[in-house]
Amino acid sequence: MSLIIDRELHCAFKMATAAEGKQMSEVLIEFIEQYVQEHRPKARPAAKKAGRA
């Protein structure tokens, strides 16, 4: 994955993660996992197949 962000935001994020002793990628992965968990589409019920009666 590649991401282009504003230089100031990148530096601020890098300083914030470093202050917590974490890598930027570690924090991004945690965020993505949490986001997917909260926004994952609900499973659809299986479609009924038309068959002979």
pLDDT in tens, 1-53: 899 999 999 999 999 999 999 999 999 999 999 999 999 988 777 777 766 66
Total-model pTM: 0.70
> In degrees to the nearest 10, what's the CA dihedral of 22, 26, 31, 36?
-160
- Residue ranges of the domains in the chain? 7-39
Contact call for residues 24 and 13 (beta carbons, < 8 A): yes
DSSP summary character for residue 48 = P
Please report the pLDDT score of residue 25 as a whole number: 95
Please report the pLDDT score of residue 53 as a whole number: 60
